[in-house]
Amino acid sequence: MSILIKNVFLPEDCGYGDGSVNVLIDGAVIGKITKDEIKADEVIDGRGHLLIPGFYNTHCHSAMTALRGYADDLPLGPWLFGKILPAEEHLTAKVVRSASELAIAEMIRGGVVSFSDMYFFMDETARAAIDSGIKLNIARGYTSDDNTAPENDFRFDETVELIRNFHGAADGRIKVDMCIHGEYTNADRAMRRVAEYAVDNGLGLQIHVSETTDEHKGAIERRGMTPMQYFESIGALKAGLCAAHCVKVSDEDIALMAKYGVSASHNPTSNMKLGSGLMPIRKMLDAGVNVSLGTDGAASNNNLDLLKEMQFAALIHKGFHENPTEITARECFKIATENGARAQGRANCGRLAEGCRADLALIDTDALNNIPLYDTYSALAYSVRSTDVRMTAVDGKILYLDGEFKTLDIEKIKYDAKRTLKNFFI
């Protein structure tokens, strides 16, 4: 099926000149971008709208929407070990499915076309993603201790089962990654096994890295090296590693990331809310590190609005460094789109070009908050709201259009969430 989005504007520097164009979606890809008239099976009038690549959320725990607002205003240690982990002991497959559906709907509504997730009962999240039409890099959350024996490691076995059942599912929309929750929540032997399996099988790897001062200094005390240096020593950087947070990484760590092609997922709202600090994003970008963007879970962010996350990233570094040129609007947009696709190992995604996957968001630039429009990147970084997203499409399939979810029963999702999620752990 072909879909024509006509009379639409594209961001500057896309190579199609000024003025409106017609964009033809041919199956799962962008078939043609032209000023000429085109015929298609379905036509969407894009007049007064901006067409962009959809957003990539490269670090999320979608089912943590079940804990939205539960443990606010706490530092990471008491938040995680005192509140979140005890509550997670009560998770069930039903809770994870309902919370994942709620999270996916929120992301689709905000123009997100793909997300990376590490948590529990991940087969439920995978099925929710398949049903919704969104893309997903999924990883079974992995922790261990010195008593974890390879022959009795149910977490590792569940990861292998997840790979067997879902890797490459839904025409490649679902990718299964390996996971090491963090250096401080795992035993050496177990982490080496996970890293080796990821490298040997060509899999991505999701890890929390240097999120706090305590974590970073603790690794140095335990192992005589930083978390990133430790992960290099066990071969983890040779996998397709996406390192979440990277707030306290050293200059030497950044050089390692650039050397091995490690992606860093910037989660500014979560890091600010938990008082963890701020990623050295300028140093990373200047070193050639692929920086992407993530929301983290709704328990430490309270929403999964990646557009808002991009805007926070665009502002906070300027204020912290007292430098309005610290990071530009165009850099932030690339971080939220093309860099995110690269972090997830998704070729031909995250860009507006003929032959690329049709993972798209349509933005209403005729909204009051977007007038006048001098520069599309500046509008996206500073004025556009997620409520201005008119359409979200993944692989050429429209998931959301003009307030209507095309693949989800949103009223049922909200009803089930209200019944299932509140106080599930009490």
The reported pLDDT for the residue numbered 373 is 94
pLDDT tens digits, one per residue of 146-169? 988 888 899 999 999 999 999 999
Beta-sheet pairing, 2-8 with 21-26: antiparallel
DSSP SS3 for 370 = helix
Beta-sheet pairing, 21-26 with 29-34: antiparallel
The reported pLDDT for the residue numbered 91 is 95
DSSP SS3 for 73 = coil
Would the pTM count as exceeding 0.95?
yes
E-strand spans in 212-251? Answer: 240-245
DSSP secondary structure of 123-188: HHHHHHHHHHT-EEEEEE-----TT--GGG-HHHHHHHHHHHHHTTTTTTTEEE-EEE--GGGS-H
Amino acid in the structure at residue 422: K
Q: How far apart, in whole angstroms, are the C-alpha atoms of residue 273 and residue 28?
A: 38
> Which portions of the chain are predicted below pLDDT 50?
none
CB 420 within 8 A of CB 406: no
Delimiting residues of CATH 3.20.20.140 domain(s) in the chain: 55-343
Q: How far apart, in whole angstroms, are the C-alpha atoms of residue 228 and residue 246?
A: 9
The reported pLDDT for the residue numbered 107 is 98
The count of C-alpha atoms lying within 13 angstroms of the C-alpha of 285, restricted to the half-sphere facing its C-beta, is 17
The reported pLDDT for the residue numbered 14 is 78
Cα 389 to Cα 5, 55, 72, 369: the distances in Å are: 15, 11, 29, 13
CATH of domain 55-343: 3.20.20.140
Delimiting residues of CATH 2.30.40.10 domain(s) in the chain: 2-53+350-406
Cα first-last separation, the chain: 49
Beta-carbon neighbour count of residue 282 at 10 Å? 16
2-53+350-406 belongs to CATH 3.20.20.100: no
Q: How far apart, in whole angstroms, are the C-alpha atoms of residue 11 and residue 130?
A: 30
The reported pLDDT for the residue numbered 152 is 87
The reported pLDDT for the residue numbered 183 is 98
The reported pLDDT for the residue numbered 425 is 87
Q: Which residues contact 339 (CB under 8 A, 6 or more apart)?
A: 56, 263, 290, 291, 292, 293, 350
Beta-sheet pairing, 360-364 with 389-394: antiparallel
